[in-house]
Amino acid sequence: MVTAPERGLGRLVAVVCLVLIADLALVQVLTPLLPYYADRLGFGPAESGRLVAAFALGSLVAAIPAGMFCSRVGVKATVVVGLVLMAAASFAFGIADSTLGLQAARFGQGVANSLAWTGAIAWIVVAAPAGRRGRVLGLVFGVTVAGTFIGPGLGVLAARHGTTEVFAAFAAALLVLAVAAALLPGVPAARQSVRAMLAVLRHRALAFGIWLYLLPAFLLGAQNSVAPLELDRLGWSVAGIGVIYLCTAGVQAMGSPLLGRWLDRTSHATPVAAALAAAVVLTCVLALPWTRQYWLFAVLVAAANIAFVTLYLPGAAIVADSAEAVGLDHAFGFSLANLAWAPGTIAGSVIGGELAEGVGYAATYVMLAVVCFATLIVVRRVAFRPAAAQSGF
């Protein structure tokens, strides 16, 4: 496969980071806005879960088309089109004044996210040297965690100063970024068929990497549907909820480059097992009624969020290495990852919200603990060890 020129790698990394920051900001922007819209439109945890799920549904619908688009016209064109659509959907979200309008705009943002994210990740993976892929991905993931700063910050600003103004400004920034991406040199389209993508799903390592996109999406979808409302009930303001997630993002940003280096030097089983073990403990503790205290619950939610998100980076490394090993275009590999992320988020947000409303918040966290523990049991049987680590590189 043809790689991007080394001299353009720095500019490419910068643009890809900004694209992923924008994607992640849109994922996270709704968290502090849920109490705002709940008060304004009068919906509860179930409606909150559906609104969270709308974004993921759009991403799910566009996942395979995004890979096909990359394969036909190239990753650069896919990123540019995704950013333009993202700008339009974000402006629509800002002016929406009904639950249906918000859901439709979030669906459109999800479609655009799928295009921009798939193209950007495939672009940087093609450019990164195989033996240093974990470091490059760790750097990109670490920098793009800024999206979790920007997203809640945008949500707080929108709640306080007006959704129309804030999301219009965000849409304008996306259009500027689309121009910057269009000016970069592209790479030739791979032109593989969807059949080639589906044929490699039997590859155990690739399947496990895809699971590591579905699982944290499920965990985060469930927690993000119920935790903000519980924090609101405990007395946290919209701004305070935003600060909690900002602090969480700071820890993630500092840890991702270190995790990337770790992934280049060891089996992926070790960091995955560590994150899963932490997730099991934290979700079990969060299910206990005595944790419903102002500061304690906030700290536990932040820690669980960190454990969940940690699974994404080894998932990305496994998908990239496995796709390369079986000769699959990286765009299709990450289309599959995006295809897994979307139903994970939908299922987590809807099931988590419905469980919390029908049975109680503790039931949601018990479910998450069971899923994490089941994955922990099998992780060492299927984890993938990268070629660089095997060779002692």
pLDDT digits (tens, 9 = 90+) for 83-106: 999 999 999 998 888 888 888 999
pLDDT digits (tens, 9 = 90+) for 156-182: 888 888 888 999 999 999 999 999 999
d(CA 320, CA 335): 11
Model confidence band, residue 269 (pLDDT cutoffs 50, 70, 90): confident
Region for residue 327 given its phi and psi (left: phi exceeds 0; alpha: psi -120 to 50; beta: otherwise): left
Model confidence band, residue 392 (pLDDT cutoffs 50, 70, 90): very low
Q: For the ranges 27-31, 102-106, 218-222, 328-332, which has the lowest average pLDDT?
A: 328-332
Helices (H) and strands (E) in the chain, counts: 17, 0
d(CA 338, CA 343): 9
* DSSP annotation of 3: P
Note the pLDDT of residue 1.
40
DSSP string, 259-278: HHHHHHHS-THHHHHHHHHH
d(CA 24, CA 10): 21
Mean pLDDT taken over the chain? 80
Mean pLDDT of 320-342: 70
Note the pLDDT of residue 393.
27
CB 382 within 8 A of CB 204: yes
Note the pLDDT of residue 4.
39
Model confidence band, residue 130 (pLDDT cutoffs 50, 70, 90): low
d(CA 119, CA 186): 11
Residues contacting residue 210 through CB under 8 Å, at least 6 positions apart = 315, 319, 336, 337, 339, 340
CB 201 within 8 A of CB 336: yes
Closest CA to 211 of 370, 375, 23: 375
The 3-state DSSP class for residue 19 equals helix
What is the architecture, at CATH level 2, of domain 6-390? Up-down Bundle (1.20)
5 φ, ψ (degrees, to nearest 5): -60, 140
| CA atoms 107, 108, 113, 114: torsion sign | positive
Residues contacting residue 392 through CB under 8 Å, at least 6 positions apart = none
Highest mean pLDDT among 38-47, 80-89, 283-292: 80-89
Note the pLDDT of residue 8.
58
